[in-house]
Structure 1
Amino acid sequence: MTPTRPVPAWLSDAVLYQIYPQSFADSDGDGIGDFAGLAERLEYLAWLGVDAVWLNPCFASPFGDAGYDVSDYLATAPRYGDAAALAELADRARRLGIRVLLDLVAGHTSDRHPWFRAAADDPADHRYIWADHPAERFVRSPGRRPGWYLPNFFDFQPALNFGYARPDPAEPWRQGVDAEGPRANRAALRGIMAHWLGLGISGFRVDMASSLVKDDPGKVETGRLWNGLRGWLDAEHPDAALLAEWGDPARSVAAGFHADFLLQFGGDTDGRPLRSLWHNGAGTDQDGWPSEPCYFDAEGKGDISVFLDAWRTADRAVGGDGRISLPTSNHDFSRLACGPRTRDQLAPAFVFQLTWPTLPAVYYGDEIGMRYVPGLPDVEGSVLGPRYNRAGCRTPMQWDATEGAGFSTAHRLYLPLDDAPDRPDVATQRADPGSLLHLVRRLIALRRAHPALGADGPVDVLHAGYPLVYTRGGRFLVVVNPRRDPAVLPAPGPAPRRTLEARGVTADAAEIRAEGFSYGVFEL
């Protein structure tokens, strides 16, 4: 399908890398990661082969929700460094072939943002959503203004007013999408994006991208809003990327985004496709998530068709107009190495992720098998419930085997390090050609060398069980067996000509044999 609005060339088959900046690299010894520390690690990212990094929010914030409560969109948080340091980071990264994307918190601010402080004192200010009587989820005004305001998430995150798609006589505070407040907020979004793009940032991942217009069936008005911003980007910044935290690529790409992440929530399937791959009931576990085996687990009781069906539906809808991104994990979701899953099980997962026709997104540390650390205390809003503790997937990057893991010289860190005696680290794995890190690096290089393995290459699933067997572009055969038990299948075609990457899988003209926790990538 010919795209009507093409994806920027650099993004079309990019490998993304997510960085939680508090936990990546600390240059000044205060126990919190920063821009300078990240800049010192750019060589590693270039060596690994990633094309772009996106940083969780770096804007000024009181950090009630780890930076997702913004108090100034045009200033960086002092803990990371100033705007000049961020611009220098983006410039140094670009020279190494890496783009830097920021996390844009579009739907709400901190209650300490000057916009909200002004609105809390002025009944004529409509930048936020105010009710004149108590209503569900609304919070009492903290200022001279009478009434209640609507938060998006925590109470200290008042929702910006982008209007309501439908009026309701019982809720007279509902303004239309073209009222003064929503127009001002749309203009502010454009100004924020233009500011950072002008400083060398290459685009944005938009937090809660579907949440802007309220009571919006089918997200029609939200789509109009983002399509308007996309039109401006195409005209003024055609090389900039717009990625959604939406979890519904079919809808978000139609709404103007270049790509959307499959998430543990969102869309008509409520995140089940991603959870059906990785979620094993450990780590971040939301009450209400059904308890079902995932495909990448040792017992072999999962069902890959849940993911395949959802991916096919989204892929047909997206066509050539955008991309679907498949993450290993994220700052809100359990790492691949979580609960009973051992490091032997991670390699097949990466082979699948890096040879499937999506944009792979590697969460920092997953490439070395950093584990989800259970039982950590709440830090900056990380604990959302008895079974939903996000701190465990936000621990400091493990660069080496020293006391501070090469992350920091501080005695007290943003979050505790993994205290497992066998915790993995970058230095040890870089020195070991047989490590998970080297496998991930080779897979990224293989994907770059053979476009048929990338986002645009056709895929044909030959066996949707254990092992999973598929071809890419008719030229490459991929076999993935994430369970403990071995499997044997009749050969689906002629014997491969060459083995590109394999562990425990053999394929000839008669059969495919896959040992437990095995994988193979072959040229046909």
Structure 2
Amino acid sequence: MTADATRNPATPPSPRWSDDAVIYQIYPRSFADGDGDGVGDLRGVLDRLSHIVDLGVDAIWLSPFYPSPQNDAGYDVADYVDVDPLFGTLADFDELVARAHSAGIRIIVDLVPNHTSSEHPWFQAALAAEAGDPARDLYVIRPGREDGEAPPNNWTSVFGGPAWTRLPGSDEWYLHIFDPTQPDLDWSNPAVHEAFADILRFWLDRGVDGFRVDVAHGLVKAEGLPDHVPALGPDGAPVPASEPTAASPYFDQEGVHEIYREWRRILDAHPGERILVAEAWVEPLERLFRYVRADEMDQAFNFAFLMTGWDAVGLARAIEDTFAAAAEVGAAPTWVLSNHDTVRHTSRFGVAEPPPHQRGIGPDDPQPDLALGRRRASAMALIELGLPGSAYLYQGDELGLPEHTNLPAAVRHDPVFARSGGAELGRDGARTPYPWAASAPNLGFGTPAGTDTWLPQPETHAALARDAQEAAADSMLHLYRGLLRTRRELGLGRGVFAWHPVHDPERGLIAFTVGTETGPVLVAANLSADPIALPEATGRTLLAASSPAAWDGRALSGESAVWVALA
């Protein structure tokens, strides 16, 4: 890998606000509880909006808050144009949009178009209808094989088990790529397109600035719904269809792109710059970036970067490949370390073998070294926020929160856990309530003493609570604030990327420069355990992690990083 192997493209002709935005994901049920019932809500977000403003982000992405039976934490939507009473009201939502906009923060909402809840009126009508009734055509409902006794094909659910459930008293089956309470919509039906066009317009008219599209790669299924023939991994074993490396008849089909071209036209018809963000577990990166061609979406989550982990060679490759793929379509890259579906990176970086995507970390697994994980998380923050492009933060990243690794089975909510018979622990460990105050009941989440929060909080979160970090000048919270302030002041998100001559991932050194209007900034991260001399890094130190002592102007300590304004 040569020092000048990769440069990002010139600034696009019409750069959008999102090209360098830092976007903060709020998982509403776990951010702040405004009504004391143990579950976070929109009123809680309003109460804590100043924290987000002080942090210095550009936008908020809200995970689902729609009416839902909550079988999959709101990703089973029963009404796309309202707010679940669990989270508040449409008036609360409108107030949040207005207050965020007045503070210069945009609002992105989650949209779940692959499936609805089984309690959605559309599906209830399908259940009540006879075979051949148009009400059934909104969903992927097909006759079974073997006179209806067997499902239409061999597809399996991402959450475990078969992807088909038989309709009561019928030889027909309905598809659910996820949980049986999440029937898949049939996007070959124009009525589905029309319904979602109306949904988009409803929220655009309420002032939202964009949509994060759940399972963006899954809406269109292969024609004829053929059996899935598993790809084989390096070990010769079949690769599950849910893995992004596997060619699947229900993921990443060509027809999905026309849907996003339709949506692009709808968004562009509204004033302002409204964006579409793809949650698409697609590999390789060249295929992922097809979702962000000029007439489709604006961003796609960079899971290749997220899943690489603490690996200098792999990280360098992910960065290089991302810029190359982005350049092919003239899009801005994105960078992300954690979200509500993955083990928190502070914990991933503290174990020798990070768990697979949905496996989680449980009490019987090797426990993360939290000091090591936080040290590495600090260094990775300098890499993520130093890279040109857009960055996503998951609530708690700014505190360095670890995974809750000791959740008992009785309190787990994730359908992945139940559907897999406990073989997959699921994602609850990354979703526990945010710690606001170290000494308050339920760590200041807003739930009064004597009332349980919807998931228990780990004891380790008390020392990491926001008020404790506010009082400590060397905390992760202050590091993130400094990073975001410096990134904005220098325009790093729109700078020009180049590998620095000392870049040497084989030794564990990630080093690149970002050209800005005020001069180049060096971002150097030592992913090895030993110090590495950087005699070329002469200039003004901007920020260092994991501690100021990690960088003395000559050598960078192991597992640390630095930003230097080069002389």
Structure 1 residues 318 and 369: alpha-carbon distance in aligned structure 2, compared to 1, 3 A threshold? same
**Structure 2 counterpart of 1:478:** 523
Letter in 2 for 1:184: A
**Structure 2 counterpart of 1:415:** 455
**Structure 1 counterpart of 2:242:** none
Cα distance between partner residues in 2 of 1:485 and 1:105: 46
Kindly state the Cα deviation for residue 242 of structure 1 after the two structures are TM-superposed. Answer: 0.8
**Structure 1 counterpart of 2:346:** 337
2:397 counterpart of 1:366: yes
Cα distance between partner residues in 1 of 2:443 and 2:79: 32
Structure 1 residues 317 and 24: alpha-carbon distance in aligned structure 2, compared to 1, 3 A threshold? same
Counterpart pick for 1:406 among 440, 444, 448: 444
Kindly state the Cα deviation for residue 497 of structure 1 after the two structures are TM-superposed. Answer: 3.0
Coordinate RMSD, CA, aligned: 2.3
2:510 counterpart of 1:468: yes
Structure 1 residues 120 and 433: alpha-carbon distance in aligned structure 2, compared to 1, 3 A threshold? same
2:315 counterpart of 1:315: no
Cα distance between partner residues in 1 of 2:374 and 2:396: 13
2:380 counterpart of 1:349: yes
**Structure 2 counterpart of 1:139:** 164
Structure 1 residues 2 and 115: alpha-carbon distance in aligned structure 2, compared to 1, 3 A threshold? farther
Cα distance between partner residues in 1 of 2:479 and 2:539: 21
Kindly state the Cα deviation for residue 85 of structure 1 after the two structures are TM-superposed. Answer: 0.8
Alignment of 1:177-188 (within 5 A): 182-188=189-195
Kindly state the Cα deviation for residue 484 of structure 1 after the two structures are TM-superposed. Answer: 2.9
**Structure 2 counterpart of 1:168:** none
Letter in 1 for 2:468: T
Letter in 1 for 2:187: F
Kindly state the Cα deviation for residue 144 of structure 1 after the two structures are TM-superposed. Answer: 6.4
Cα distance between partner residues in 2 of 1:506 and 1:496: 12
Counterpart pick for 2:37 among 16, 30, 42: 30
Structure 1, residues 27-53: CA drift from partner, whole Å, max 9, x if none?
111000010110011111000001111
**Structure 2 counterpart of 1:275:** 307
Counterpart pick for 2:66 among 41, 59, 84: 59
Cα distance between partner residues in 2 of 1:65 and 1:18: 18
Cα distance between partner residues in 2 of 1:140 and 1:335: 33
Counterpart pick for 2:480 among 440, 454, 458: 440
**Structure 2 counterpart of 1:233:** 267
Counterpart pick for 1:256 among 282, 296, 312: 296
Cα distance between partner residues in 1 of 2:498 and 2:25: 26
**Structure 2 counterpart of 1:174:** none
Structure 1, residues 250-284: CA drift from partner, whole Å, max 9, x if none?
12102611111112xxxxxxx4x42113xxxxxxx
Partner of 2:117, secondary structure, is coil
Cα distance between partner residues in 2 of 1:63 and 1:420: 28
- The 8 Å contact of residues 467 and 514 in structure 1, kept in 2 or not, is answered as no
Letter in 2 for 1:523: A
2:465 counterpart of 1:425: yes
**Structure 1 counterpart of 2:539:** 497
Structure 1, residues 32-80: CA drift from partner, whole Å, max 9, x if none?
0010110011111000001111111111100111111111111211100
Partner of 1:236, secondary structure, is coil
- The 8 Å contact of residues 365 and 397 in structure 1, kept in 2 or not, is answered as yes
Structure 1 residues 235 and 6: alpha-carbon distance in aligned structure 2, compared to 1, 3 A threshold? farther
2:278 counterpart of 1:244: yes
Kindly state the Cα deviation for residue 204 of structure 1 after the two structures are TM-superposed. Answer: 0.7
Which structure features the higher share of helix residues?
2
Cα distance between partner residues in 2 of 1:201 and 1:422: 34
Structure 1, residues 173-210: CA drift from partner, whole Å, max 9, x if none?
xxxxxxxxx21111111111111111122211000001
2:89 counterpart of 1:82: yes
- The 8 Å contact of residues 276 and 303 in structure 1, kept in 2 or not, is answered as yes
Letter in 2 for 1:234: D
Partner of 2:558, secondary structure, is strand
Cα distance between partner residues in 2 of 1:5 and 1:457: 15
Kindly state the Cα deviation for residue 225 of structure 1 after the two structures are TM-superposed. Answer: 1.3
Letter in 1 for 2:513: T
**Structure 2 counterpart of 1:40:** 47
Partner of 2:488, secondary structure, is helix
**Structure 2 counterpart of 1:395:** 432
Alignment of 1:207-226 (within 5 A): 207-215=214-222, 219-226=253-260
Q: Structure 1 vs Structure 2: percent identity of aligned residues? A: 34
- The 8 Å contact of residues 167 and 174 in structure 2, kept in 1 or not, is answered as no
Structure 1 gap ranges (5+) = 164-181, 264-270, 278-293, 297-301
Moved more, 233-242 or 437-446: 233-242
**Structure 1 counterpart of 2:108:** 101
Moved more, 441-450 or 371-380: 371-380
Structure 1 residues 5 and 160: alpha-carbon distance in aligned structure 2, compared to 1, 3 A threshold? farther
Q: TM-score, normalised by structure 2?
A: 0.78
Which structure features the higher share of strand residues?
1
- The 8 Å contact of residues 305 and 464 in structure 1, kept in 2 or not, is answered as no
- The 8 Å contact of residues 325 and 358 in structure 1, kept in 2 or not, is answered as yes
Cα distance between partner residues in 1 of 2:398 and 2:382: 12
Letter in 2 for 1:262: N
Cα distance between partner residues in 2 of 1:490 and 1:220: 50
- The 8 Å contact of residues 264 and 296 in structure 2, kept in 1 or not, is answered as yes
2:205 counterpart of 1:198: yes
Structure 1, residues 460-480: CA drift from partner, whole Å, max 9, x if none?
343132221111116111111
Kindly state the Cα deviation for residue 229 of structure 1 after the two structures are TM-superposed. Answer: 1.2
Partner of 2:186, secondary structure, is coil
Structure 1, residues 364-386: CA drift from partner, whole Å, max 9, x if none?
01111111011323214263653
Kindly state the Cα deviation for residue 459 of structure 1 after the two structures are TM-superposed. Answer: 2.9
2:497 counterpart of 1:458: yes
Cα distance between partner residues in 1 of 2:556 and 2:458: 33
Q: TM-score, normalised by structure 1?
A: 0.84
Structure 1 residues 5 and 187: alpha-carbon distance in aligned structure 2, compared to 1, 3 A threshold? farther
- The 8 Å contact of residues 429 and 436 in structure 1, kept in 2 or not, is answered as yes
- The 8 Å contact of residues 495 and 514 in structure 2, kept in 1 or not, is answered as no
Cα distance between partner residues in 2 of 1:346 and 1:80: 31
Partner of 2:533, secondary structure, is strand
Cα distance between partner residues in 2 of 1:12 and 1:4: 9
- The 8 Å contact of residues 121 and 144 in structure 1, kept in 2 or not, is answered as no
2:121 counterpart of 1:114: yes
Structure 1 residues 424 and 382: alpha-carbon distance in aligned structure 2, compared to 1, 3 A threshold? farther
Cα distance between partner residues in 2 of 1:237 and 1:152: 36
Cα distance between partner residues in 2 of 1:43 and 1:30: 22
Cα distance between partner residues in 1 of 2:320 and 2:542: 28
Partner of 2:464, secondary structure, is coil
- The 8 Å contact of residues 201 and 266 in structure 2, kept in 1 or not, is answered as no
- The 8 Å contact of residues 323 and 333 in structure 2, kept in 1 or not, is answered as no
Structure 1 residues 382 and 22: alpha-carbon distance in aligned structure 2, compared to 1, 3 A threshold? farther
